[in-house]
A = this chain, B = another copy of it.
Amino acid sequence: MSVDEAGPAATPAPPYTAVIFTSVRAGGHAAAYASMAAEMDALARLQPGFLAVETARAAPSDGGLGITVSYWVDEAAAGAWKQVARHLVAQRHGREAWYREYRVRVATVHREYGSGVRG
């Protein structure tokens, strides 16, 4: 985990694009999944237009829902990442093997507030 995953991500003033990826993992392959997730994270950060990523997964005893939100300068940058991610996942068994269920939502962030520097 890199430093910026310890808290809410730093993002520029809106508008920008958010890709909300919600999933429930299929059972098994935990080490292989962790390795793939780390590789996807590293690759995302190298993509043009990448801004930040936030990720959290509930304990299996609590439903095991995972949410990863990646932030991009615009929809074109998010779309380019989609192709890279899809290819990587396909190489490693495919989404059906990793996820029991998943959903992707592409959104435009209009407003942002909270604690910290941009209060």
B-contacting residues of A (Cβ < 8 Å)?
A: 1, 5-9, 11, 14, 18, 20, 22-24, 54-59, 62-63, 65-67, 69, 75, 95-96, 99-116
Contact = CB atoms under 8 A, between A and B. Distances in A.
A108 B62 CA distance: 28
Contacts of A102: 8, 114-115
- 3 cross-chain pairs, A with B, having the tightest CB-CB distances, nearest first: A103-B114, A8-B103, A107-B107
5 contacts: A7-B100, A8-B102, A8-B103, A106-B112, A107-B109
Interface centre among A20, A23, A59 (most CB of B within 10 A): A20
Instruction: Say what secondary structure dominates the interface of chain A.
Output: strand
Given A56-B57, A107-B108, A63 B99 contact: no
B62 A1 contact: yes
B24 A6 contact: yes
B59 A7 contact: no
A69 B112 contact: no
Contact of A115 (B14, B66, B101): B101
